[in-house]
């Protein structure tokens, strides 16, 4: 039960993190990847594998949040916009 709640929490956080991405393509990619991975692993029963997947989701969440912040800052920088 505790793992299930943690998995659902991470799932929701990843989907919310996707909304912070500056482009629809990035948002949609993260949503699709998150949904796909969670469906793929929904039937896991091995405790070690479940823990591994939860740690991986945690790492992915950190990555999504860092990327969202970085890309949002980059895309709002007028100097960056002038070079593209």
User: How confident is the model over 23-63, as pLDDT tens digits?
Assistant: 999 999 999 999 999 999 999 999 999 999 999 999 999 99
30 close to 17: Cβ distance less than 8 angstroms:
yes
Enter the pTM of the model. Answer: 0.84
pLDDT digit string, tens, across residues 2-22: 999 999 999 999 999 999 999
pLDDT digit string, tens, across residues 67-82: 999 998 888 877 766 5
Calculated CA dihedral for residues 73, 77, 81, 84, nearest 10 degrees = -60
Residue 48 structure tokens: 């070690």
Q: Which residue, 26, 30, 79, 24, is CA-closest to 57? A: 30
């Amino acid at each position: 039960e505790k793992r299930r709640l943690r998995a659902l929490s991470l799932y929701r956080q990843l989907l919310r993190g996707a909304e912070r991405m500056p482009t629809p393509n990035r948002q949609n990619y993260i949503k699709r990847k998150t949904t796909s991975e969670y469906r793929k692993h929904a039937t896991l029963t091995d405790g070690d594998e479940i823990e591994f997947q939860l740690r991986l989701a945690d790492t992915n969440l950190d990555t999504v949040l860092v990327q969202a912040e970085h890309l949002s800052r980059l895309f709002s920088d007028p100097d960056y916009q002038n070079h593209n």
